[in-house]
């Protein structure tokens, strides 16, 4: 495996994240007038189910 620690837990201070996969901030254009929409909620829920540790 090219990245042997990718799915290993990582301790950051007093917090332990389940893996070393992070989900950074980015623009989705799924909000309307600066407010979240059901489509944005679905988008974020799908990413959360994907298992990003941070």
Can you give the C-alpha Rg of the chain in angstroms?
Answer: 14
Look at residue 25 and tell me if it is in a domain: yes
The angle subtended at Cα 11 by Cα 7 and Cα 12, nearest 5°, is 120
Look at residue 4 and tell me if it is in a domain: no
Q: Could you list the residue range(s) of the whole structural domain that residue 31 is in?
A: 10-49
Q: What is the 3-state secondary structure (H, E, C) of the chain?
A: CCCCCCCCCEEECCEEECCCCCCCCCCCCCCECCECCHHHHHHHHHHHHCCCCC
Look at residue 28 and tell me if it is in a domain: yes
Look at residue 20 and tell me if it is in a domain: yes
pTM greater than 0.75 (yes/no): no
User: Into how many domains does the chain fold?
Assistant: 1
pLDDT tens sequence for the chain (54 residues)? 799 999 999 999 999 999 999 889 999 999 999 999 999 999 999 988 888 888
Look at residue 45 and tell me if it is in a domain: yes
């Amino acid at each position: 495996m090219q990245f042997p620690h990718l799915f290993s837990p990582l301790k950051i201070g007093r917090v332990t994240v389940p893996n070393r996969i992070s989900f950074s901030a980015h623009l989705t254009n799924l909000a309307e007038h600066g407010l979240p929409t059901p489509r944005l909620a679905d988008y974020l829920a799908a990413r959360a189910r994907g298992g990003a540790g941070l």
